[in-house]
Amino acid sequence: MKVHFLMRRILAVAVLATASFTTNAQSLGPTLEKISQRGTIFLGHREAAMPFSFVTAGNENPEGFSIEICGHVIKAIEEKLGKKVDTVPVVMSANSRIMMVKTGMADMECGVTTNTIGRSQQVAFSTTFFVSEVKGMVPVALAGKSLKDMANKRVVTTVGSTADRLIKQASMSRGVSIRSLVGRSHANSMEMLTKGEADVFVADDAILAGMRSMAANPENYVILDEGYSVEPYGIILPKDDPQFKKLVDEVLAGLMKSGEMEKIYNTWFTSPIPPANRNLNYPISPLNKASYANPNDKSVN
């Protein structure tokens, strides 16, 4: 009798433990549960997306505007789990970022990814943390020009970015023929411009400002006023994990409402930053002010 009683007690404890684990996993959601079990968060980042997410020589840890924001997210994750977690940087390219989050190679991507309807069918996006415009950067000799002046010009965009599709659509709609080139990375696209291999570098305006700041002679390049599209950036998150998205969105909304987000912005866009200690001199735009006043996660085409 005592043996049977003991066996029933052991079974009951096991059932309670399993139920407790299941309830805890359900309350955390799959992503937070994995992070909790591993004690590690895999942080996706870009290597050369100034000033959002980049790595400087001799430093394997990424830094930048997006990375600092994600640092606040990681603190919230630790508070939620009640313990510290290790951060493992995971390098991503423009072409691999969606797949890497989708397959679990990274828990989130802190970079410069536009929240599009097509991408949101594969992954989730956080509340928009930055609104950019796709523009062109040219040598000063072409300052004041617009797309209608770019007939037969060599226009470089970075592989995997939305800029390639957008500039082609804009040129077709305006009846302007351009010569399209593709850079392997933003740094490579900028190199093509500085070497005279391209006449125009088309990308999100903030990326252009970052690339210009790293040039040997930043004053030799200007960002044109004409915009081709508005691009809302979000942190890429695993799809179908509302608990994780809720946590991330709450962190971002808190930063926006408290004014901390604008302070972080000024750190990276209107102050000297690594690696050359240069100032991008890119004050916050009305688009970003409006976005911070009314947080949302709306996708664009």
pLDDT digits (tens, 9 = 90+) for 270-298: 999 998 899 998 999 999 999 999 999 99
Q: Are 43 and 246 within 8 A, CB to CB?
A: no
Query: 267 is written with which tokens?
Result: 């750190």
Provide the whole-model pTM. 0.82
Domain coverage including residue 138: 133-231
Last residue of a domain, one of 207, 231, 255: 231
Pair (45, 125) in one structural domain: yes
**CA atoms of 301 and 86, how far apart (whole Å):** 36
Pair (252, 270) in one structural domain: yes
Per-residue pLDDT at 50 = 87
Pair (203, 121) in one structural domain: no
Pair (105, 239) in one structural domain: yes
Last residue of a domain, one of 231, 254, 277: 231
Per-residue pLDDT at 24 = 52
Residue 145 domain flag: yes
DSSP line for 99-129: HHHHTTS-SEEES--B-BTTGGGTSEE-S--
Backbone phi, psi, residue 44, to 5°: -75, 140
Per-residue pLDDT at 15 = 43
Residue 19 domain flag: no
> Is residue 135 packed enough to be buried (19+ CB in 10 Å), middle (13-18) or exposed (0-12)?
buried
Count of the separate structural domains present in the chain? 2
**CA atoms of 287 and 131, how far apart (whole Å):** 6
Low-confidence ranges of the chain (pLDDT < 50): 1-3, 5-7, 10-23, 25
Is the backbone of residue 277 left (phi > 0), alpha (psi -120 to 50) or beta?
A: left
pLDDT digits (tens, 9 = 90+) for 126-145: 999 999 999 999 999 999 99
Last residue of a domain, one of 178, 199, 231: 231
**CA atoms of 90 and 281, how far apart (whole Å):** 29
